[in-house]
Structure 1
Amino acid sequence: MTYIGLDLGTSSLKAILIDDDQRVLAEHSVALSVSRPHDGWSEQDPKDWADATQTAIRALGVASDLSDVAGIGISGHMHGATLLDASDTVLRPCILWNDTRSAIEAAELDANPQFRDLTGNIVFAGFTAPKVAWVRNNEPDLFDRLAKVLLPKDYLRLALTGEQVAEMSDAAGTSWLDVQKRDWSDDLLAATGLDRSHMPNLVEGSDISGTLRDTLADDWGLPHGVVIAGGGGDNAASAIGAGVVAKGDAFVSLGTSGVLFAASDAYQPDAASAVHTFCHALPDTWHQMGVILAATDALQWLSRLTGQSAAELTQDLGALQAPSRTLFLPYLGGERTPHNNADMRGQFLHLDHATDAKQAARSVLEGVAFAFADCQVALRSTGTTIESALALGGGAKSDYWLETIATTLDIPLMLPAAGDFGAALGAARLGMMAASGAGSEVATMPKIEKTVAPDPSLTSAFAETHARYREAYSVLKDI
C-alpha cells in the first residue's frame, strides 16, 4: 500500500507519496501567494488551495503509480478563518494565521476569563475566533450569511471528501475548543455569536474523517474508498513526521515562523506565559509550543533590504562568535510568545559605521535565537524542561544559526539525516494510521546526521546579550 501526505503551507502546498516502509516515492510542491491588502492583513483564496492540490496529486501520478493508495493525510497552517455560506460557497478570502487585524477583538475576548480557563491559551489576534469577531464587527452582511467556519486544511478536506470535519490539534488553535475535554465549547462559541452548527465535526488526527470522492479518485488514478485521516495542524503534523510524540520529545522549527515544541502526556496549561497548549494529533496527547512570528521570515526581510540572498548572507560567517553590541528584535509583524503583542515591530539597535551586511545577518540570526530563548523561559514556567531538540525547517540548513541557537538555549540540537521529516511526512503517517489502524509506533524519529552542541565558552556571552535583548523590548514596547 501507499499513502499521500498533503501539507498546505503559507507559501506552497506540498504532496508526498510514501510506501509501507515510509520511503518517499514521489513529491511535488506548488507555490502559493499571500495577499496583503492593508497593513497587518494576510489573506489567501481557498480556491488556490484546491487547485494546487489537483496539480500536486496529478504530478505524483506522473512520477509514480497511485493505484494502490490506501490513505491520505492532510496538514495545514493553523488559525485561518475560512468562511462558508449554507451552500459551501466561500464568502471572502481566508484570513491567515499571521493576520493581526483583529487585535482589538482578541483583547476583548481574552478579557473574558472563560477563554483562558477552557482553552488553556491567551486569545491571540492570530487565532480564529477573534478573526470571526472582526468579520462580525466590520463585515456584518457576510457574517449574517455565515454557515460554517473551516480551518484551511479542513477546507481541503471538504474539497476532497464533501465532509465538514476538523481534528483536535488544529481546532485547539481556534479559541473555541475546550482543550482538556477535546470538544467545542458552547459558551465560547456563544461569546462570538456562533453555536455548534457553525463548527465542523471533530475527530482525532489518526482517525478516518471521510473517503475521497469517487470523481477525484477516477481523475487522479486512485482506487475508490481511499480514506482521509483527520490530519493535523502544521506543527503537530511536523511532530508526527519527526517522531516527537512522547513526553520529553522536542523540536525547534526554523520556518517562516519559529516554534519551540514539546510533546506531553498531560494537559498542563499556563495561558499567562503566552505558551500555546494544544491537543496533539494523536489521542490522549497534548503539546506545548512557544511561537515566534518571524524566523526565516526575518532573514528574508534582510535579504530584500540588502539585495543579497539568504544563502549569501549566511555563508562564510566563520566560527561562532560572541554577539556584538548590535541587537535585532525580530518583531516584524508583532509577537506571540511571550509578549502577545500585535503592535510591536522589529528593531535594529546599536548600529555603527562598522556594521555591514554580514554583521547585520549575524544580529538577525541572534535575534531569532533570543526569541527562542524567550520561549524556553516561558515553557519552563509551565514546568516543561527541554533537554535536547531536533532541528527542523529551512533555517536548519545554516550551521551558524544552529550553533547560535544551541548556545543560546544551552541544549544540543539534533539535525536529521537528509530527508523530509516535516508536516507532509507527518500527514502521510496519519493517513497510514487511519488506513491501517496502526498507532504512534509509526511515528519514529529520523536518523540523526549530527548533533550541534552548545559552545560552553560562549554561553555566558549569549546569556548576557539575551538579557540586553529582553531589556530592549521592555524599553521599546511602549514607544
Structure 2
Amino acid sequence: MFYIGIDLGTSSVKLLLMDDNGKVRNIVSREYPLFFPHPGWSEQRPQDWYKESIEGVKELLQGFDAKKVAGISFGGQMHGLVVLDEKDEVIRPAILWNDGRTTKECDYLNQTIGKEKLSEYAANIAFTGFTAPKILWMRENEPENFKRIKKIMLPKDYLAYKLTGTFCTDVSDASGMLLLDVKNRRWSDEMCEICHITKEMLPKVYESYECVGTVKPEIAEELGLTANVKVAAGAGDNAAAAVATGTVGDGKCNISLGTSGTIFVSSKKFGVDENNALHAFCDANGAYHLMGCMLSAASCNKWWNDEILQTKDYAKEQEQIKKLGENHVYYLPYLMGERSPYNNPNARATFIGMTMDTTRADMTQAVLEGVAFALRDSFEVAKKLGLKIERTKICGGGAKSPLWKKMIANILNIKVDVLETEEGPSLGGAMLAAVACGAYENVEQAATQIVKVVETIEPEPELAAKYEARYQQYRNIYPACKNLFDKII
C-alpha cells in the first residue's frame, strides 16, 4: 500500500509517496503565489493551496497504481488564519505565520490580559504570528468580514476539510493558535471569550495520527483513488518533521537549520518555562514538546555569503575556518528580530569583537557560531525544566555543512545524529497516514522502523570546553545591547 504526505509550505506544497516499508517512492512540489498587500503583511489564497495539492497528487501518482493508496495526511505551515462563511466560502485571504500586522493585538494580549493569564489558559504568550491576535485584528479592522465567520481553521485543515468534509484540526497545530488549552488538549473557554468567538466556530480537535474521515467520492474518482482512502488529522510542520526525524518519546531532540532555526524537544510530561521563552505545544505522538524558534538561522549564512561576500560558494568560505573555539568575533543572528527565547522584534543582527587582525574567515565563523550559540539559548531553557538531552537529530539546509554540525555538537555538548532520509513534514505526514491506517501500531513504532541514523558527530571534550567559555561570553552580549536595539529601530 501507499501513503501520501502533503507538506503545505509557505512557498509551495510538497507531496511525498511512501510505501509500506517506509521507502520514499516519489516526490513532487508545486508553487503558489504569496501576497504582500502592505509592508509587513503576508497572505495566501487557500483556494490556491487546494488546487495545487490536487494537481500535485495527480502528478505524484503518475506511474503508480493509485488504487493502492490507503491514506493521506499532512504537515503544514502553522498559525495561519483561514475563515469560512456559512456557505463554506473563504471570506478573505489567509493571514500567514510570518505576517506582522498584529503588534497592537499582541500588546493587548500580553500586557492588558497579561502573560500569566495567557500562560494559564493556553500555555503560551502572544506572538505576532499566532492565530488569536489575527482574529482580534480582523474584528477591529474588518468588522463586516468578522461577522461573517462561521468556521476558523488552520491552513492544512482547509485541505482536510475540502478532501473529507470533516471540520477538524490536530492538537499540535492547534497549540500554535493561542486558543487551545494545551495541557488538557481542548479549546480554552477563556481564550474564546477574549477573542470574541464561540467554540462552534472552531474545529473538532484530533490527535495527529487519528483518522478524521475518508476522501469524498467525487474527489477519489477524480484522483483515481478507491472510495475508502483514510485521511489522518496530520500535524503542524515542526511536529510533522519531528515524526520524520524520529523525535518522539521523552527527551528526544531535533534541531532544524532551515531559513529559520528550531530546537524541538519531546516530552511525555506537560511543562512551561517560567518566562514562556519556549513554545509549549502538544506533539504528534499523544504527548508534548517544547520548541525554541529563532527567526534567522541558515538565512544568516545565506545573507552573509550572498549579500556581503558576494559569493555562492558557501563550502569554499568554510574551508578557511581552522581554529574552532578560538574566534574573538561574535555575531548575534537577529536579522529579523528574534522569537525564542527573547520575543523581541526590535533585536538586530550584530557583530562585536573585531580587531585589525580579524579575517574574512573569522567573520564567516562568527556567523555560523552565532546561530549555534542562539540555539543553545533555547536548549538551556529546556534543560532548566529537568529534561535530560544527550543527543539530537539534525535537519534542514544548514545541516549539509559538516563544519556547522561539528560546531553544534560541541557548542551544545551533545551527540548529533545525521539521518539517511531527510524529507521533513511531508514524510512525517505520510508516516501519520500509515499509523492511521494500521500499518504501524503507533507513531513511535513507525519512527523506530522507518528513521535511520547514518552518522553521529560526537562532541570533543577539549573543544566543547573552549566553546563553553565562548558561550558564557556570548550570552552577555544581548542583554548589553537590548536597550540600544529599542533606540535604533
1:357 Cα deviation (Å)?
5.4
More displaced stretch, 373-382 vs 469-478? 469-478
1:119 Cα deviation (Å)?
1.8
1:148 Cα deviation (Å)?
2.0
Structure-2 residue corresponding to 1:164:
167
Work out whether 1:298 is the aligned partner of 2:293. Answer: no
1:258 Cα deviation (Å)?
1.3
The CA distance in 1 between the partners of 2:428 and 2:135, in whole Å, is 29
More displaced stretch, 393-402 vs 440-449? 440-449
Structure-1 residue corresponding to 2:23:
23
Work out whether 1:142 is the aligned partner of 2:118. Answer: no
**CA distance 1:244–1:160, change in 2 (3 Å):** same
Structure-2 residue corresponding to 1:59:
59
Residues paired across the two proteins, number = 477
The CA distance in 2 between the partners of 1:159 and 1:51, in whole Å, is 11
The CA distance in 1 between the partners of 2:39 and 2:369, in whole Å, is 27
The CA distance in 2 between the partners of 1:178 and 1:422, in whole Å, is 27
Deviation sequence 1:441-475 (CA, Å, 0-9, x none): 12226222211122333323323333333222112
1:260 Cα deviation (Å)?
1.1
Q: How does 1:193-342 map to 2 (within 5 A)?
A: 193-270=196-273, 272-283=275-286, 285-306=287-308, 307-309=310-312, 311-312=314-315, 315-319=318-322, 321-322=324-325, 324-342=327-345
- TM-score w.r.t. structure 1 length? 0.93
Work out whether 1:119 is the aligned partner of 2:122. Answer: yes
Deviation sequence 1:224-251 (CA, Å, 0-9, x none): 1211101111111111112221112211
1:212 corresponds to which letter in structure 2? V
Structure-2 residue corresponding to 1:443:
447
More displaced stretch, 8-17 vs 319-328? 319-328
The CA distance in 1 between the partners of 2:38 and 2:304, in whole Å, is 21
1:106 Cα deviation (Å)?
1.7
CA contact (8 A) 2:318 2:365 kept: no
The CA distance in 2 between the partners of 1:308 and 1:47, in whole Å, is 38
CA contact (8 A) 1:320 1:404 kept: no
Structure-2 residue corresponding to 1:182:
185
Deviation sequence 1:46-67 (CA, Å, 0-9, x none): 2332232123212212142222
1:360 Cα deviation (Å)?
3.4
CA contact (8 A) 2:172 2:208 kept: yes
**CA distance 1:68–1:104, change in 2 (3 Å):** same
2:376 corresponds to which letter in structure 1? A
Task: Classify the secondary structure of the residue corresponding to 1:457.
Answer: helix
2:55 corresponds to which letter in structure 1? T
1:406 corresponds to which letter in structure 2? A
Structure-1 residue corresponding to 2:95:
95
1:34 Cα deviation (Å)?
3.6
**CA distance 1:346–1:34, change in 2 (3 Å):** farther
1:203 Cα deviation (Å)?
1.0
1:352 Cα deviation (Å)?
5.7
The CA distance in 1 between the partners of 2:165 and 2:316, in whole Å, is 46
CA contact (8 A) 1:121 1:270 kept: no
CA contact (8 A) 1:100 1:342 kept: no
- RMSD of aligned alpha carbons: 2.1
Work out whether 1:84 is the aligned partner of 2:89. Answer: no
CA contact (8 A) 1:61 1:221 kept: no
1:135 Cα deviation (Å)?
2.0
The CA distance in 2 between the partners of 1:140 and 1:411, in whole Å, is 51
The CA distance in 2 between the partners of 1:100 and 1:323, in whole Å, is 38
1:158 Cα deviation (Å)?
2.0
1:319 Cα deviation (Å)?
4.3
The CA distance in 2 between the partners of 1:92 and 1:415, in whole Å, is 42
- TM-score w.r.t. structure 2 length? 0.91
CA contact (8 A) 1:125 1:342 kept: no
**CA distance 1:31–1:303, change in 2 (3 Å):** farther
CA contact (8 A) 1:114 1:188 kept: no
The CA distance in 2 between the partners of 1:413 and 1:407, in whole Å, is 9
The CA distance in 1 between the partners of 2:55 and 2:320, in whole Å, is 39
Deviation sequence 1:10-41 (CA, Å, 0-9, x none): 23311111111111111112234543444433
Listed as ranges, the gaps of 5+ residues in structure 1 are none
1:276 Cα deviation (Å)?
1.3
Identity across matched positions, percent:
38
